[in-house]
């Protein structure tokens, strides 16, 4: 039922025969390229991903071998003007996130001005007292943000979640694009798609720009991974590789006299900037969890002393925590001086008695989330939940209301997706990657589109059976696509003959 | 009062260690009640010490030592002039507001029984009286046992009948928080006539309008001039004098020797 009503980003509300006007040509390509050919290309892409080792392990599924995240061959497309509006909203949001972090670990003006209830900061384990009094270079905390967006209509984008700790997925953006260029070159000849391959260079430049003052003109940057058993290890090595910098594990780093050193065959090298893909809890056993075997002892002291920059900064969890999320519109307004260009999804804070009452009355319609959960775990999707699941959540909510927020079930937009039964609309979300360095905020024109492959499903998490798609951002003034004399399907035939 | 502290911490390792990194929270700060006349930390091997402050304002020193290290001894010697302001704590570094100290930690989960016990003790009282009443209640409820290295969390301790001084303090912290009174654990030294000493722990709790008040559930009363305040934390973990990490195999053995005494008149 909701299915029929959801906005399809290519087909609009009109179905395959009546696509959105600017995307008629893409709809034509989808319609005219033989299914078997799309399936063949999809398989070729997935084979490549498997060979590259772009795999992930499903948590709680110990016996499962590492899997690749399913890929879909039909891209998702943003028109130039849509993207311009989105970008402006993302820049504003990420600027606010950085301003908030700098304030909350510094002067805490936002609390003094009564914008946030202090207890949601001070009693929140994501507010790390261990970083109070530290100011990272240029006051930048969230160098790499992945802002999860959903869409319900042509101009209706909402922020579902801010990821300001260690957002992953950017390797999919890059690998998906590479596969699409190889497998569907006709699309790139006929659409002016903004390139994403500069991401590693931009990331490297961002890292260099926030090096500690004493680092000199050629700061040493590294990527720190917990190790090959981590589910995102491929991405860690991929990013280090594409930036041309070292990938290190905790045992490769040593802290001495508040300075971080990398042990190399040629001796010790001083490290200036660390893109660490290890969570705060495990980063330094001397300061955080003493039982962590993943961390680098002393790294927080080097950081506090200003001798190394950590990307992202420890303590960022207080900015993307789900309890804080519901206050983001106020936070954006407070620091930017204007209304949030990208709205939040309406959110009920179950800690508030009135909101809790409302949520308990409408559980079957709502999505309920653990404030400190992630990856689609600890979540109730009312419309698809069983009676038992709903009752279990009801009990949990009554017992610990402060741990939950609830949101309406949104009619997430869909994008045509190749399924076993042919092309069909499937719900998607979107994670663009936003970089903040000394010279400001930039949004890479692309991102990670996650698609819920199960019919009607709204859960796009890879751990819950989601897949990915390439995300095209069209450059302004794209030639009118329908003006071309040939259909893309026809061009594909030529391409096949020629190759 | 003029107090002299000699605090030796000796780690011996069953196998030589390749590297040691330790965070020492062993340096008191001046407050309105205490003036540090002299304080030194000496290490009996080639080590580098870096001074800083943590996020709660505590003085800390990072110790970096390269191996092979079979044993290491950290010797703290100091002299502090103390005064007595009826337990009122003033002149401390306070990077975070009292509200922060309402936060529960793994070790300070009170549980219903402790919450109800402290709630009953403070019922009908206001301000500093609540803090004093809760302190007396915890003091009266438990038989005090000598220092042990292993420490139980607040709820577990409350289920029993005996507690060390540090466990009493941690329970009081947890209990006060359930009554919405900001409370923190304090690590430091306490002078006791004719007794072997161990690092001591007590509590600071916040009363609106009066500020931080230091109480000791081991005695049931307020803190006085026999105490030297070294570090504060959300629980015992936050004030550990030596928190460290070592690279190397084998077991470690810890010996602590502590003397806190009143200086003889000059």
Which residue in the set A125, A131, A301 is minimally distant from B62, CB to CB? A301
A105-109 mean pLDDT: 97
Q: What is the pLDDT of residues A184-197, one digit of tens each?
A: 999 999 899 999 99
- Using 50 as the pLDDT threshold, list the residues of chain B that sit under it: none
Residue A126, min C-alpha distance to chain B (Å): 11
**Amino acid A377: pLDDT:** 63
Q: What is the pLDDT of residues A261-278, one digit of tens each?
A: 999 998 999 999 999 999
Contact A255 B21 (CB under 8 A): yes
**Amino acid A268: pLDDT:** 94
Which residue in the set B48, B56, B64 is minimally distant from A129, CB to CB? B56
Which residue in the set A119, A256, A297 is minimally distant from B99, CB to CB? A119
pLDDT > 90: what percent of chain A? 75
Confidence of residue A490 (pLDDT cuts 50, 70, 90): very low
Which of B146 and A177 is assigned the larger pLDDT? A177
Q: CA–CA separation, B46 vs A79, rounded Å?
A: 64
CATH of the domain spanning A347-409, picked from 3.40.190.10, 3.30.1490.270, 3.40.50.620, 3.40.50.20: 3.30.1490.270
Residue A100, min C-alpha distance to chain B (Å): 17
**Amino acid A66: pLDDT:** 64
Residue A58 contacts B where some CB pair is shorter than 8 Å: no
Residue B151 contacts A where some CB pair is shorter than 8 Å: no
Residue B99 contacts A where some CB pair is shorter than 8 Å: yes
Contact A129 B55 (CB under 8 A): yes
Q: φ and ψ at A176, to 5 degrees?
A: -60, -40
Confidence of residue A41 (pLDDT cuts 50, 70, 90): very high
Residue of A468, A466, A464, A442 whose CA lies nearest to A453: A466
Q: What is the pLDDT of residues B164-216, one digit of tens each?
A: 999 999 999 999 999 999 999 999 999 987 666 778 999 999 999 999 999 99
**Amino acid A139: pLDDT:** 96
Q: What is the pLDDT of residues A66-79, one digit of tens each?
A: 677 899 999 999 99
Is pLDDT of A440 > 60? yes
- For A292, counting Cβ atoms within 10 Å of its Cβ (0-12 exposed, 13-18 middle, 19+ buried), the class is buried
**Amino acid B192: pLDDT:** 85
For residue A480, give both structure tokens: 């009118």
Q: Which residues of chain B are within 8 Å of residue A323 when distances are taken between CB atoms?
A: none
Is pLDDT of A147 > 60? yes
Tell me which residues of chain A, numbers 92 to 121, contact chain B at a CB-CB cutoff of 8 Å.
Answer: 118-119
Q: CA–CA separation, B238 vs A129, rounded Å?
A: 11
- Whether the bond between A312 and the residue before it is cis, its omega within 30 degrees of 0, is yes
Confidence of residue A496 (pLDDT cuts 50, 70, 90): very low
Site from A132, A250, A296, A399 to mutate, B interface, most B CB atoms within 10 angstroms: A132
Q: What is the mean pLDDT of chain A?
A: 89
Is pLDDT of A494 > 60? no
Q: Which residues of chain A are within 8 Å of residue B99 when distances are taken between CB atoms?
A: 118-119, 122
Domains in chain B with CATH codes = 2-81+241-262 (2.60.40.2250), 85-238 (3.10.620.30)
**Amino acid B164: pLDDT:** 92
Q: In chain A, which residue's Cα lies nearest the Cα of B234?
A: A129
> Which segment of A4-18, A343-357, A413-427, B159-173 scores lowest on mean pLDDT?
A4-18
SS3 letters for chain A? CHHHHCCECCCECCCCCCCCHHHHHHHHHHHHCCHHHHHHHHHHHHHHHHHHCCEECCCCCCCCCCEECCEEEEEEEECHHHHHHHHHHHHHHHHHHHHHHHHHCCCCHHHHCCCCCHHHHHCCCCCCHHHCCCCCHHHCCCCEEEEEEEEEECCEEEEEEEECCCCCCHHHHHHHHHHHHHHCHHHHHHCCECCCCCHHHHHHHHHHHCCCHHHCCCCCEEEECCCCCCCCHHHHHHHHHHHCCEEECHHHEEEECCEEEEEECCEEEECCEEEECCCHHHHCCCCCCCCCCCCCCCHHHHHHCCCCEEECCCCCHHHHCHHHHCCHHHHHHHHHCCCCCCCECCCEECCCHHHHHHHHHCHHHEEEEECCCCCCCCEEEHHHCCHHHHHHHHHHHHHCHHHEEEEECCCCCEEEEEECCEEEEEEEEEECEEEEECCEEEECCCCEEEEECCCCCCCCCHHHCEEEEEEEEECCCCCCHHHCCCCHHHHHHHHHHHC
> Which segment of A51-55, A140-144, A152-156, B206-210 scores lowest on mean pLDDT?
A51-55
Residue B56 contacts A where some CB pair is shorter than 8 Å: yes
Site from B18, B25, B100, B235 to mutate, A interface, most A CB atoms within 10 angstroms: B100
Query: How many beta carbons lie within 10 A of that of residue B13, not counting itself?
Result: 20
Confidence of residue A308 (pLDDT cuts 50, 70, 90): very high
Task: Return the residue matching tokens 């009286």.
Answer: B129
Q: In chain B, which residue's Cα lies nearest the Cα of A296?
A: B245
Task: Return the residue matching tokens 């950017």.
Answer: A170
Residue B64, min C-alpha distance to chain A (Å): 6
Confidence of residue A26 (pLDDT cuts 50, 70, 90): very high
Alpha-carbon separation of residue A434 from A88, A153, A162, A168, A366 (angstroms): 11, 23, 11, 12, 30
**Amino acid A428: pLDDT:** 96
Contact A258 B55 (CB under 8 A): no
A267-290 mean pLDDT: 94
**Amino acid A486: pLDDT:** 42
Is pLDDT of A484 > 60? no
């Amino acid at each position: 039922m909701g299915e029929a009503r959801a906005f399809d980003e290519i087909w609009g509300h009109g179905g395959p025969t009546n696509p959105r006007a600017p995307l008629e040509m893409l709809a034509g390509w989808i319609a005219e390229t033989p299914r078997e050919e799309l399936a063949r290309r999809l398989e070729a892409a997935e084979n490549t991903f498997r060979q590259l080792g772009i795999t992930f392990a499903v948590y709680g599924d110990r016996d499962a071998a590492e899997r690749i995240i399913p890929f879909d061959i039909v891209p998702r497309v943003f028109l130039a003007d849509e993207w311009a509006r989105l970008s402006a909203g993302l820049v504003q949001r990420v600027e606010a996130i950085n301003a908030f972090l700098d304030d909350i670990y510094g002067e805490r003006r936002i609390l003094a001005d009564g914008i946030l209830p202090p207890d949601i900061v001070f009693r929140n384990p994501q507010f790390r007292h261990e970083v109070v009094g530290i100011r990272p270079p240029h006051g930048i905390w969230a160098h790499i943000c992945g802002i999860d967006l959903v869409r319900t209509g042509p101009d209706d984008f909402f922020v579902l979640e801010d990821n300001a700790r260690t957002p992953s997925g950017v390797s999919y953006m890059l690998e998906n694009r590479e596969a699409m260029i190889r497998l569907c070159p006709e699309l790139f000849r006929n659409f002016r798609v903004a390139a994403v391959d500069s991401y590693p260079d931009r990331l490297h430049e961002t890292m260099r720009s926030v090096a500690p003052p004493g680092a000199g003109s050629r700061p040493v940057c590294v990527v720190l991974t917990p190790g090959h058993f981590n589910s995102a290890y491929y991405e860690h090595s991929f990013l280090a590789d594409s930036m041309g910098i070292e990938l290190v594990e905790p045992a490769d780093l040593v802290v001495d006299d508040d300075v971080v050193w990398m042990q190399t065959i040629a001796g010790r090298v001083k490290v200036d900037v660390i893109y660490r893909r290890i969570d705060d809890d495990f980063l330094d056993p001397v300061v955080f969890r003493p039982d962590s075997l993943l961390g680098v002892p002393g790294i927080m002291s080097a950081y506090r002393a200003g001798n190394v920059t950590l990307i992202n900064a420890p303590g960022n969890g207080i900015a993307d925590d789900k309890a804080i999320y519901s206050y983001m519109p106020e936070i954006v307004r407070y620091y930017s001086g204007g209304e949030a260009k990208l709205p939040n999804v309406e959110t009920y804070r179950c800690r508030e008695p009135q909101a809790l009452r409302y949520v308990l009355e409408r559980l079957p319609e709502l999505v309920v989330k653990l404030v400190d959960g992630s990856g689609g775990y600890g979540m109730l999707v009312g419309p698809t939940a069983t009676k038992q699941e709903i009752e279990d959540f009801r009990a949990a909510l009554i017992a610990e209301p402060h741990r939950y927020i609830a949101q309406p079930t949104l009619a997430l937009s869909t994008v045509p997706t190749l399924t076993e039964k042919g092309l069909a609309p499937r719900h998607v979300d979107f994670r663009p990657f936003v970089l903040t360095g000394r010279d400001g905020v930039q949004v890479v024109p692309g991102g990670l589109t996650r698609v819920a492959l199960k019919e009607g499903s709204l859960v796009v998490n890879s751990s819950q059976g989601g897949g990915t798609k390439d995300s095209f951002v069209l450059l302004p003034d794209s030639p009118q696509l329908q003006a071309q004399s040939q259909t893309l399907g026809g061009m594909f035939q030529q391409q096949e003959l020629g190759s | 009062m003029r107090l002299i502290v000699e605090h030796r911490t000796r780690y011996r390792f069953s196998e030589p260690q390749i590297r040691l990194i330790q965070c020492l929270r062993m340096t008191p700060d001046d407050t309105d009640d205490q003036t540090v006349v002299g304080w030194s930390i000496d290490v009996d091997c080639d080590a580098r010490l870096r001074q800083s402050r943590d996020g709660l304002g505590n003085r800390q020193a990072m110790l970096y030592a390269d191996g092979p290290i079979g044993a290491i001894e950290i010797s703290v010697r100091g002299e502090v002039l103390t005064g007595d302001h009826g337990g009122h704590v003033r002149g401390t570094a306070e990077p975070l507001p009292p509200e922060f100290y309402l936060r529960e930690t793994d070790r300070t989960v009170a549980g219903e029984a402790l919450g109800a016990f402290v709630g009953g003790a403070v019922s009908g009282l206001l301000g500093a009286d609540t803090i004093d009443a809760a302190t007396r209640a915890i003091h009266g409820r438990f038989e005090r046992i000598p220092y042990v290295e292993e420490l139980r969390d607040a709820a577990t301790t409350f289920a029993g009948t005996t507690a060390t001084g540090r466990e009493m303090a941690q329970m009081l912290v947890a209990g006060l928080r359930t009554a919405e009174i900001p409370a923190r654990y304090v690590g430091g030294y306490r002078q006791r006539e004719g007794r072997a000493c161990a690092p001591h722990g007590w509590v600071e709790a916040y009363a609106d309008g009066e500020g931080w008040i230091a109480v000791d559930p081991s005695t049931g009363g307020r803190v006085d001039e026999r105490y030297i305040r070294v570090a504060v934390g959300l629980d015992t973990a936050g004030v550990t004098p030596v928190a460290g990490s070592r690279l190397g195999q084998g077991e470690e053995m810890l010996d602590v020797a502590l003397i806190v005494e009143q200086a003889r008149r000059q």
